[in-house]
Structure 1
């Protein structure tokens, strides 16, 4: 990203607050605390002055924090919007001719009753406009992403369902909201495709099949990455066709980038890594068996791991399982019998109504788009030593090859288990062929030691170098400025460019990696709209495919540091 002595933290943003919520009183065997998912972070031009400001989501009862960009310096964060009635999740900004419309997801995970669910709307508005009128949902909102999915010129919104309160890990229903006459309406046809789509942790729109309309990619927990292919505004599940279905995991965040320079969007997906006491493979998957075993209206689950003998055994200890599910003591009355028991032994033969999940990998993985299929490439071992959530794609060293940042760690582990804190934030330099090299903190200048979640990039000080904001659960958001080396070329696209694709051509006639203008990506993250392209001195032209499919090529003058590209009239 930058040399050790040339990279400096630019300061810290607002502190993320968490209200107390006892997850284990409701579902004592959940493997993670979904009330500790935030904060989301977003680089948005909140004051419409042309540069990105920083917005940080809040926990339930708190208010979002806004750090205003004043000539490349961020002010101290100030609260904006009403107090959140549920945890903020993603924050996204929908561009307009003036101030953007700023929307935050609201999680109802902490709802204790149906009445609580009804009182927590799925979305909140953080700018001065009226709150979006969206039908209530019985599921907790997770990631948001926006795109013009039907080509009518209006931005539509995907609202991913993270889980159903009291029913983890059963799959939840997500929704696609279409912009119609100033309102959002649920796309009834997409609702069928998104029914029980899974536990959505991350979402991004990307034209993976190159047909000119945005497809939808979902990072799911206890499932494969899901690809919903868009054909003229109608979505169909293409996960198996593209070779993703076999790679079930506990996926957290998802971003796209052209990692091998072939013009196609590849995927970078975060997971749990190798250092959590769990490992998974196709031969030895991990997973869970779930049902309302005790009939109290709440879902219980038993996690398992698979031994070398193929037997699926519980991963939680006898006392923990026995307290949560006393009936198990009938199947295993002693520690000795428990130690010999499989999950099926504990549950007994003939039990019906079980929901089963499994994961064959826990590795942070890049999936290369080879044209009609994705091929997995796990990221290097050094970055697998901690879980990761946020994933940001940018050319940090400005060499014309896309790089990655992973926001690492997870502290909210079940009682009795140590927190997962071996990460410092992973900076990985791309080789332009789909491979990555991990930089240590001494070389990258980036060190994030807290419970990191979202990660978003922008060039907020307009120096031609990517800057980075990393949200930490229950702590301050940390900001790093890019430092050192020749600056990149800053590129602005005219309004209405969400979904556009941008690609440079160099002096030798070769092309650089393709970039897409996206509204929401990674894990609850929103990147700045101005692009920074590496190898600035070599760029001779920029080709833009606008959202409606029209393609234009713009010359770039030698020595240019910033260009603004506007669609030609009549094109």
Structure 2
């Protein structure tokens, strides 16, 4: 399986024999829709540190780019079922993808039940992460799904079937990367922390002036193109530079022989209105890393974390009482280097300690005071116990792993 690109991994007891089995999600936009490398993999623990690969076609008998897999007993039958989120379909970036519910038969055989139990998960968006949490206290796991170009989406578990809640009152179409569950205000119910793109880039997004992305086969070469547009002085313009546009779509070269001809052009000026009418139009109106507070009664409030949490995209979050004061604190980290020069790489994040006050509000501590400092592109933060100590592991893309010991005094 070394040809596959691993995008997520989950240890859980799939077959009910008391030991951890392993689900590995597969992804990568370099593969075709028929590539076996996109098949997710389930490995059964057969003892002695050995695993045996299942022959099941996961997540649902087709090859997609899976971004996340989460386990919970959503049907209440005593075994662990799965949610698998798809970020994109091969070669179709920007086209809404599916989320899948996989029901466990108790012996590790998984059956897709999305069409029956959660049809609103179909073509929900570009899923990046999800969380199971009993937000309403009725003793079954509900589901929160986040991703790029999509709103924060909450599904209530109603006796094993799922109903999507109404949209949040606040704008929530974002470039969400990660979600973490924790009781942030000490009221006994789960709240959520959601990592977003941040506010330290040339992208600005609001309900009135969102970032837009038009997706279509504009040059009719059987491959989808994406045209991102941003607002400037009240008008939305394509972000793509002229030379990149005509390189991808040579048919436009005669129309835009010079950069001067391209200046001030909107998508309506560039493309035929019928093509735009048939395009998928994605929206982002909130790029702020935020907390989603559970107000009870099925109501939620989305609010921004402090400005220090907005310096760079957040891809990793850990929650816990790291300073021993009885209140939940947060650790966040991220960065993204692989972007086009005209956008500029996102490298302003060095890890952040956010001290909680027990009411859902947080204040940032400097790294010299907290001791928590990362570098590079952090993609996960994990809290674990090691020799009686609490340790934070920070996984970095193409770099070594970092570790921090939690001292319980505000220092890591």
TM surpasses 0.5: yes
State the match for 2:147 in structure 1: 220
What are the superposed Cα offsets for residues 467-491 of structure 1, whole Å, 9 maximum, x if unpaired?
A: 211111111121111125499xxxx
Closer, same or farther: CA 84–440 of 1 in aligned 2, 3 Å:
farther
Q: CA contact under 8 A between 1:219 and 1:225: conserved in structure 2?
A: yes
Aligned with 1:350: secondary structure?
helix
Does residue 126 of structure 2 align to residue 199 of structure 1? yes
Aligned with 1:459: secondary structure?
strand
Q: CA contact under 8 A between 1:332 and 1:341: conserved in structure 2?
A: no
318-327 or 262-271, larger mean C-alpha shift? 318-327
**CA distance in 2 between partners of 1:232 and 1:150 (Å):** 7
State the match for 1:131 in structure 2: 53
State the match for 1:317 in structure 2: 241
**CA distance in 2 between partners of 1:450 and 1:336 (Å):** 38
State the match for 1:230 in structure 2: 157
What are the superposed Cα offsets for residues 92-151 of structure 1, whole Å, 9 maximum, x if unpaired?
A: 12145543112221225331x3442x3532224385333242343231111111000000
Q: CA contact under 8 A between 2:33 and 2:64: conserved in structure 1?
A: no
Q: CA contact under 8 A between 1:225 and 1:239: conserved in structure 2?
A: no
Q: CA contact under 8 A between 1:84 and 1:106: conserved in structure 2?
A: no
What are the superposed Cα offsets for residues 404-436 of structure 1, whole Å, 9 maximum, x if unpaired?
A: 111211111125543211111121111111111
Q: CA contact under 8 A between 1:219 and 1:253: conserved in structure 2?
A: yes
Q: How does 1:124-273 map to 2 (within 5 A)?
A: 124-125=42-43, 127=45, 128-132=50-54, 133-135=56-58, 136-182=61-107, 183-187=109-113, 188-190=115-117, 192-240=119-167, 242-243=168-169, 246-273=171-198
Closer, same or farther: CA 361–486 of 1 in aligned 2, 3 Å:
closer
Instruction: Please give the root-mean-square deviation of Cα atoms over the aligned residues, in Å.
Output: 2.1
State the match for 1:405 in structure 2: 331
Q: CA contact under 8 A between 2:9 and 2:22: conserved in structure 1?
A: yes
State the match for 1:354 in structure 2: 279
Closer, same or farther: CA 486–225 of 1 in aligned 2, 3 Å:
closer
**CA distance in 1 between partners of 2:229 and 2:217 (Å):** 17
Q: CA contact under 8 A between 1:248 and 1:358: conserved in structure 2?
A: yes
Does residue 362 of structure 2 align to residue 432 of structure 1? no
**CA distance in 1 between partners of 2:136 and 2:250 (Å):** 51
Give 1:276 shift. Answer: 2.3
Relative CO higher for 1 or 2, CA cutoff 8 Å, sep ≥ 6?
A: 1
State the match for 1:327 in structure 2: 251
Closer, same or farther: CA 239–93 of 1 in aligned 2, 3 Å:
farther
**CA distance in 2 between partners of 1:131 and 1:176 (Å):** 21
> TM-score scaled to structure 2, two decimals?
0.91
Give 1:191 shift. Answer: 5.6
Give 1:334 shift. Answer: 3.1
Give 1:202 shift. Answer: 0.9
Q: Find the partner of 1:100 among 20, 26, 35.
A: 20
**CA distance in 1 between partners of 2:81 and 2:40 (Å):** 15
**CA distance in 2 between partners of 1:228 and 1:85 (Å):** 35
Q: CA contact under 8 A between 2:44 and 2:52: conserved in structure 1?
A: no
Q: CA contact under 8 A between 1:409 and 1:452: conserved in structure 2?
A: yes
**CA distance in 2 between partners of 1:160 and 1:451 (Å):** 22
State the match for 1:470 in structure 2: 394
Aligned with 2:201: secondary structure?
coil
Aligned with 1:437: secondary structure?
strand
Give 1:384 shift. Answer: 0.7
State the match for 2:227 in structure 1: 302
163-172 or 272-281, larger mean C-alpha shift? 272-281
Q: CA contact under 8 A between 1:261 and 1:401: conserved in structure 2?
A: yes
Instruction: Report the number of matched residues.
Output: 398
Q: CA contact under 8 A between 2:5 and 2:37: conserved in structure 1?
A: no
Q: Find the partner of 2:381 among 424, 446, 455.
A: 455
Q: CA contact under 8 A between 1:287 and 1:305: conserved in structure 2?
A: yes
Q: CA contact under 8 A between 2:88 and 2:97: conserved in structure 1?
A: yes
**CA distance in 1 between partners of 2:7 and 2:273 (Å):** 41
Aligned with 2:131: secondary structure?
strand
**CA distance in 2 between partners of 1:330 and 1:440 (Å):** 54
State the match for 1:122 in structure 2: 40
Q: CA contact under 8 A between 1:109 and 1:165: conserved in structure 2?
A: yes
State the match for 2:5 in structure 1: 87
Q: CA contact under 8 A between 2:9 and 2:25: conserved in structure 1?
A: yes
User: Structure 2, unaligned stretches of length 5 or more?
Assistant: none
**CA distance in 2 between partners of 1:207 and 1:346 (Å):** 48
> TM-score scaled to structure 1, two decimals?
0.66
**CA distance in 2 between partners of 1:313 and 1:328 (Å):** 17
Does residue 197 of structure 2 align to residue 275 of structure 1? no
Q: CA contact under 8 A between 2:370 and 2:410: conserved in structure 1?
A: no
Closer, same or farther: CA 405–84 of 1 in aligned 2, 3 Å:
farther
Give 1:274 shift. Answer: 1.3
Give 1:329 shift. Answer: 3.7
Q: CA contact under 8 A between 1:453 and 1:470: conserved in structure 2?
A: yes
Q: CA contact under 8 A between 1:139 and 1:173: conserved in structure 2?
A: no
